[in-house]
Amino acid sequence: MIHCIIIDDEPFARKLLADYIKKVPFLSLKGDYSSALDALTAMDSEEVDLLFLDIQMPDLSGIEFLKVLRNRPYVIFTTAHKEFALEGFELDAVDYLLKPFDFSRFLKSVEKVRSLTEPAPLPPSESKAYIFLKESHQHVKVELEQICYIKGLKDYLRIVTNEQQHIVLQTMKALQEKLPTPPFIRIHNSYIINLDQVEAVLSNQVRIRGELIPIGPTYRRYFLEVLGKLGL
């Protein structure tokens, strides 16, 4: 169950979100607030996994509110102002719902959160231990155990292995779907790592081959859950 709260100064917007949340079996509404300041106190006493957060609000904006949170839950911004989208995603928000949005768009958004909170099933034993990557005008065979990490570079991916690196034209999401979880896990909007290659886990980073890779706030909880299930 994903426990969520709503923070929005518009009564109609809060009611609409509350109605949508009631329709989704894996969501549980813990409260709705017209002020980010009021929500701060509630979050100290409530278990909150997901915030539906408006941006333009009196006293404290949604973006300012998110910046002061020490332990961020997953965040879906809900706003009528599309100009804040870039800053919202830079804060590692899961999604950005532009008002007005319908239930199907809402459901697509919360499914993203669900996919982050529920680790993917282990790959079948017959899964191959290699992958073919399209690099320039050829398909290169790369053994999965040799991959250290993958970094997103706009429309490209940089795949770093023990011996070399590959630059491929592919989306992070498309490649992630082809990789077994674990050992491959996404820990940031721009990084997928191979747990078998991790040398150390720091507070907000992991070290692989001497390089420090950030753990995004959105992925931190899921990452720790995976480590716990692996007995780490």
User: What's the pLDDT at 121?
Assistant: 54
Neighbouring C-beta atoms of residue 163, cutoff 10 Å: 7
Q: Which domains does the chain have, with CATH numbers?
A: 2-117 (3.40.50.2300), 130-229 (2.40.50.1020)
Neighbouring C-beta atoms of residue 153, cutoff 10 Å: 11
User: What's the pLDDT at 125?
Assistant: 45
pTM over 0.75: no
User: What's the pLDDT at 123?
Assistant: 52
Q: How far apart are CA 149 and CA 198, in angstroms?
A: 9
Q: How far apart are CA 103 and CA 119, in angstroms?
A: 25
DSSP classification of residue 146: G
For each successive 10 residues of the chain (232 residues), what is the average pLDDT?
91 94 92 86 79 84 78 85 60 83 93 78 57 80 91 87 88 84 88 92 88 89 81 62
SS3 content of the chain, % helix, strand, coil (to 5): 35, 30, 35
